Amino acid sequence: MQSHDYLKSWPTRGILVVFALAVILCSQNTFSQSLRSQEEIGHIVAIENLAVQNGTVSGEAHNNSANTLRDVQLFIRYTWLWDNEFHPGSEDPGTSSIYTLPKEIPPGGRLPFTFSPSPPLPKVSGGHFVTSVSVAGFTEVIPQTR
């Protein structure tokens, strides 16, 4: 009998199939995720009262859902626009960051935030930064029902 002949027997294959199905079914229920459009995300969590000064971004995240939100991640993008786009410089100082809010946001609640890039944005001439903030991700805590 060779070392892998036991895998060819019907009881062993049956046990492996049942085990594989159990792992697949359990993982789908345990690690359920859904992808949503930017429009859907905007209905759940909104970024409001946004202000930018010298690269520092501040504002509020507003939870519009009926559930607690945690691990709200903001995508903060500093896009560099050249004064003369036909003759741009050799290096683009634009950058981006993901910032995770430090606290949960209760249903209907607001959480103020402030983000400063590290290292600070470079002092460059010949253009200016345009800053945008969007929601990159979050966890919606949905109470378990029986």
Contact 48, 90 (CB under 8 A): no
Domain 38-141 has CATH 2.60.40: yes
Backbone angles phi, psi at 15, to 5 degrees: -65, -40
- pTM (predicted TM-score): 0.73
CA–CA separation, 54 vs 117, rounded Å?
Answer: 10
pLDDT at res. 43: 85
Positions in the chain whose pLDDT score sits under 50 = 27-31
DSSP 96: E
CB atoms within 10 A of CB 104: 15
pLDDT of 28: 45
The tokens of 79 are what? Answer: 């896009």
DSSP H helices in the chain: 10-30, 38-44
The Cα 96–Cα 130 span in angstroms is: 11
pLDDT on residue 48: 97
pLDDT for residue 121 = 96
